[in-house]
Amino acid sequence: MTEIVFTKAYFTKSAPSIRECPPEVGHEVAFAGRSNAGKSSAINALTNQKLARTSKTPGRTQLINFFNLSDTQRLVDLPGYGYAKVSREQKEKWQRDLSEYLQKRQSLKGLVLLMDIRHPLQEFDTTMLEKKSDDLGKSSDKNWHPWGDARWA
């Protein structure tokens, strides 16, 4: 059984689209949510490091950011969706890139959806949860988790 050590995480790569993502090796758990929901802060809290850039301004994470925990385990900080001070065209591009990553990335084995308690889930949130839970929950193994035979450290 492989031990997962979050405190040894390190930045790997930022990718503007799925075509520039790291090779499909191992398992990824992605952090998704509306702009300014705390995705980067959650990664920083998990790793006990300031790996992911944070800001009070919505829309600062504009690329798909990868953080390796080991050679076969990654955390992924996804761009937020919803409110951000960027053009409509940029928001639409992020939406397409996010959808493509979530639909096509074979190494994506887990999805953490963060939300701001002040704002209820929107239609896009529930649609994303339903689609990904169908994809990710296909295992009938009750002990299944994103990193297979690994222990959380």
Tell me the CATH number for domain 2-152: 3.40.50.300
Residue 101 has pLDDT above 50, yes or no: yes
Residue 67 has pLDDT above 70, yes or no: yes
Sign of CA dihedral 69, 79, 121, 116: positive
Region 110-119: mean pLDDT is 84
Interatomic CA distance for residues 99 and 139, integer angstroms: 22
More confident residue, 49 or 52: 49
More confident residue, 42 or 150: 42
Residue 80 has pLDDT above 80, yes or no: no
Please state whether the predicted TM-score (pTM) of the whole model is above 0.85. no
